Amino acid sequence: MPRFMAARSEGGQALASVPETAPAPMLKKFVNVKDEEVGSVLLSFIYFFTLMCGYAILKPLRDEMATAGGVKNVAWVFTATFGVMLVAVPAFSALVSRWPRQRVIPLVYRFFLVNLLGFFVVLTVGGVAREQVARVFFVWVSVYNLFVVSIFWSFMADLFVSEQGRRLFGFIAAGGTVGMLVGPFLVKHLAEPLGATNLMLLTAVLLEVSAQCVRRLSHRGVIVRPREAAAEAPVGGGIFDGFRLLFSSPLLLGLGLQILLYAATSTFLYNQQAHIVASVASGTDARTAAFANIDFWVQALTLVLQMVVAGRLMARFGLGLVMAVAPLVTAIGSLWLAVVPSMLVLIAFKSLRGATHYSLERPAREVLFTSVDREAKYKSKGFIDTVVYRGSDSVSSWLYTGLDKLGMGTSALSLATIPLAGLWLAVSLWLARLARHPRPAAAPAATPALASPVDAAR
């Protein structure tokens, strides 16, 4: 990995971490990266890779335990996860209010690491009913996934300015996609010779690597706006500020509505997937293979879009077009699934929807967070990505269950997703417009001026 030296402007302010060696020419074929950004971009890529590879290793273990523990009622699972989020998010807000990010983020990752080692010991030594462990582990993984990913993007939004985010976030997000492809590969080839439970230790190692990436990135920051003096200070404020801030800014409120509608459509599609797969695949192995096939195509297509298309599309056409693609695909795909509720259509729909969300909409949404202050990045963003997300999951799953019990079939439930996708599209376009024409607001006294949201949407 190239060594770095700090470049400084004539005024003495740190501008960027400049690599002492020339950047790899291959990288510039995939992303519009500047010489001084190469090292930090690659480190961010590795950071997200280790994070998502670790989750991808845990995911099949969680799914297997879900079957063993009888965790089949999606509504109850999402409700339990939502309840845990209501406790976890204020606790995280309390941490970022007191300590700087380079201490808080590794602390959170190591907290999850210790939890994981605890699960490993319980499952290895025994003495506790596996069904009870399975229920707890399923909820824990659901909380863990959203929490660590939300923290990652908060950190990225704090490191990079809007203009950099447009160019780089698509490529950085590809690190997570590669991790989501490598993780299942490792499970497939190592689960039998090593034992599935022992693979938890591999995730623990990857979590520690993620924590080390945070430490190195904190010391090599690529921030180009003059706020280094405050960059590592504690965020301050109270533990419930994430909720308060959500309703104090049109941008944050719009981002909350966007994630709420995305999660609602995801929950409806998740249930549709379960019904269709169950109708065409009999037996545990066949259903597992069907789910794996869907996940593979989602991640493969996502990787192609992230590596080649995302950054250039955002830079050329702005956020409006990029954020509109996923809700449009959701509306059209839901209509298609209502007319032809088949496995082939489901795979095509989920692959396109997942790929456009992870490669286009998600990075574009994270670009918007680069133009808010640090308190919003670490508190409101965490609240939106966890509590709002899982709250929408819970409400939507109960709504789906109610409509299903009223006798609505697969086609009717697919059609019910279309109005939600329409609202999601409207909110996404409104957010892009808001970014192009931000409302003037005075910056807090403790925080130097940030880059304008206009940069993110041109």
Q: Which of 56-60, 194-198, 290-294 has the lowest mean pLDDT?
A: 290-294
Q: Cα(127)–Cα(129) distance, rounded to whole angstroms? A: 7
Q: Structural domains in the chain?
A: 4-223+232-437 (1.20.1250.20)
Q: What is the pLDDT of residue 52?
A: 94
> Mean of the per-residue pLDDT values for the chain?
77
- Decide if pLDDT at 435 tops 80: no
Q: What is the pLDDT of residue 67?
A: 53
> How would you classify residue 132: left for phi > 0, otherwise alpha for psi between -120 and 50, otherwise beta?
alpha
- Decide if pLDDT at 213 tops 60: yes
Q: Per-residue pLDDT averaged across 131-136, rounded?
A: 78
Spell out where 9-114 has E strands.
14-19
The predicted-structure confidence for 335-369, as pLDDT tens digits, reads as follows: 999 999 888 888 889 888 988 888 888 888 888 88
Tell me how far CA of residue 401 lies from CA of 342, 404, 421, in angstroms. 21, 5, 19
- Confidence band, pLDDT 50/70/90 cuts, at residue 204: very high
Q: Cα(170)–Cα(362) distance, rounded to whole angstroms? A: 9
Element (H, E) at 8: strand 4-8
> Residues in the chain, how many?
458
Q: Per-residue pLDDT averaged across 187-202, rounded?
A: 83
Structure tokens at 343: 């496995």
The predicted-structure confidence for 375-402, as pLDDT tens digits, reads as follows: 776 677 778 887 888 889 889 988 988 8
164 three-class SS: helix
Q: What is the pLDDT of residue 2?
A: 43
437 — phi, psi (to 5°)? -130, 70
- Choice between 126 and 363, residue whose per-residue pLDDT is larger: 363
Structure tokens at 305: 């879009």
- Confidence band, pLDDT 50/70/90 cuts, at residue 65: low
The predicted-structure confidence for 223-239, as pLDDT tens digits, reads as follows: 434 344 444 544 444 44
Burial call 56-68: b when 16+ CB within 10 Å, e when fewer: bbbbbbbeebbee
223 three-class SS: coil
